[in-house]
Amino acid sequence: MPLFRYRVNDPQGRELTGAMSARDDAEVRARLGARGYTVVQILGPETPEPKVSGRRQPRLVEPSPVERALFFRQFAALVRAGISPFSAVEDLANRTAQPGLRAAAAAMREETRTGGSISSAMERFPALFPEHVIAAVRAGETGGFIEIALDEIGLEYEQEIAFYKGIWLPRALVLQALLALALAQPMFPTLFPDNQPLRYLQLALLRNIPITLALLWGVRALWRRRFRHGRGRWRDRWTLRTPVFGELDRQRSLCAFIRMLRRLYAAGLSPIRAWEGASNVVPNGLLRSRLAEARDQIERGVPLHDAFQSVGLFTNEAEQLLATGVLAGQVVEMLDRIAEYYQANVQRAVDSARFWMYRLAITLFLIIGGATAILITRTYFDAIFRFTENWS
């Protein structure tokens, strides 16, 4: 079922936002009305964002993970120190050097000035803030732990940085092998026995090197296109199907869901709202939709552990721990243990992915290096045979 976003007012007059899987917007309105909410706005998957005069944002340079981590860590530190969100984003808007994040901080400042939420301002920058990041901030605002949510977002980007730290070594090995191949291919046919250094330089620098650089640029462009905004469903499906790295994405998504579900439960939210908020923070869009579909079961009164089991994403150990927590009235405590279990799984998946990333890079280096050695040997003996063929 499609995922609808909504904005409502609760019986106390507070504005709330969230998402819900339903057949159409009429079903969303009926469900929200049954809970006592007054519907303000509903946005479906095919409904464009409303155009607000003067709020259209120009195309901004996408920040790096280091810049994102620094932004959210500073934001969390300011809020934790007792500074209001308005004053925090005002300070960040004046100090942040990255243009995109500076514009986003200014939008947050204007939104909070009029009583709006930080997550509402972030929604206007979908190229800067992924859906699950916005949902984490919204859950933090709803549960009253915004500084914790901001800290965990910063931690997520720091873990991404740590994951790719040291990748320069296998990358340098592959680049070295490609350049060696480009420089060695025309060596013997031009330098021996004819001794044509200008011909060699022409083939090596004007043909092989540009081809190699174009190949590297194409690979880099395809990799960056994979992370481009608007290709989330394709990227998430491709990632889950990738050996090793798909398991890492799966474990990270489930761990994020469990952690947020535990926080929302501890904040006193109802099971339905806790499940909605937790399912929206899942990084992988396919898993996010699959978890959102189980919300209907919780609304019908199905116990939490039965909803876990119906999703089919969690291990039997996690399901049994949660069932014990529901029967014993210790849901939060058991969710803590399940979160620790999945965090350990994430660490194992990270170690495995880094090992295979290095292994694949070194294998590619050996393959290209072997091809270079074969090519050098073949062209060398071809040159020798051409040089001696008329001796007899």
Q: What is the CATH number of the domain that holds 116?
A: 1.20.81.30
Q: Is 318 found in the same domain as 336?
A: yes
Q: Using the 3D structure, point to which of 164, 190, 223 is the last residue of a domain.
A: 164
Cα four-point dihedral sign 200, 202, 203, 205? positive
Nearest CA to 104 out of 138, 127, 87, 83 is that of 127
Report CA-CA distances (Å) from 325 to 61, 103, 333, 336: 46, 45, 7, 10
Note whether 141 and 116 are within 8 A (CB). Answer: no
Please check whether residue 366 lies inside any domain of the structure: yes
CA distance 284 to 232: 8
Rounded to two decimals, the pTM is 0.74
Q: Is 86 found in the same domain as 35?
A: no
Note whether 275 and 298 are within 8 A (CB). Answer: yes
- Tokens representing 282 are 């899942």
Please check whether residue 50 lies inside any domain of the structure: no
Please check whether residue 52 lies inside any domain of the structure: no
Cis peptide bond prior to 99, omega within 30° of 0: no
Q: Is 150 found in the same domain as 24?
A: no
Range of the domain at 136: 65-164
Cα four-point dihedral sign 243, 249, 252, 256? negative
Q: Using the 3D structure, point to which of 128, 146, 164 is the last residue of a domain.
A: 164
Please check whether residue 54 lies inside any domain of the structure: no
Q: Is 329 found in the same domain as 352?
A: yes
Q: Is 184 found in the same domain as 134?
A: no
pLDDT values of the chain reduced to their tens digit, one per residue, 392 residues: 566 767 777 776 767 766 666 677 777 788 777 777 788 777 765 444 444 444 444 456 678 889 999 999 999 999 999 888 888 988 998 888 888 899 899 988 888 887 778 988 898 888 889 889 999 999 999 888 999 999 999 999 998 888 887 777 777 888 888 888 888 888 888 877 778 888 889 888 899 999 989 988 988 887 776 655 545 677 788 888 888 889 999 999 999 999 999 999 898 888 888 898 999 999 998 899 889 888 888 888 888 888 888 888 898 888 899 899 988 889 899 999 999 999 999 999 999 998 888 888 888 888 988 888 888 888 888 878 877 776 76
Q: Is 214 found in the same domain as 69?
A: no
Q: Is 368 found in the same domain as 235?
A: yes
Q: Using the 3D structure, point to which of 164, 189, 208 is the last residue of a domain.
A: 164
Cβ-Cβ contacts under 8 Å for 281 (sequence gap 6 or more): 132, 135, 136, 139, 256, 257, 260
Please check whether residue 49 lies inside any domain of the structure: no
Q: Is 287 found in the same domain as 177?
A: yes
User: Could you give the number of structural domains in the chain?
Assistant: 3
Please check whether residue 110 lies inside any domain of the structure: yes
Please check whether residue 81 lies inside any domain of the structure: yes
Note whether 302 and 289 are within 8 A (CB). Answer: no
Please check whether residue 89 lies inside any domain of the structure: yes
Q: Is 380 found in the same domain as 246?
A: yes
CA 78 to chain centre: 25
DSSP-assigned letters across all residues of 77-132: HHHHTT--HHHHHHHHHHH--SHHHHHHHHHHHHHHHTT--HHHHHTT-TTTS-HH
End-to-end CA distance of the chain: 81
The whole-number pLDDT of residue 112 equals 82
Q: Is 158 found in the same domain as 223?
A: no
Q: Is 141 found in the same domain as 72?
A: yes
Place of tokens 């499906």: 237
Q: Is 188 found in the same domain as 205?
A: yes
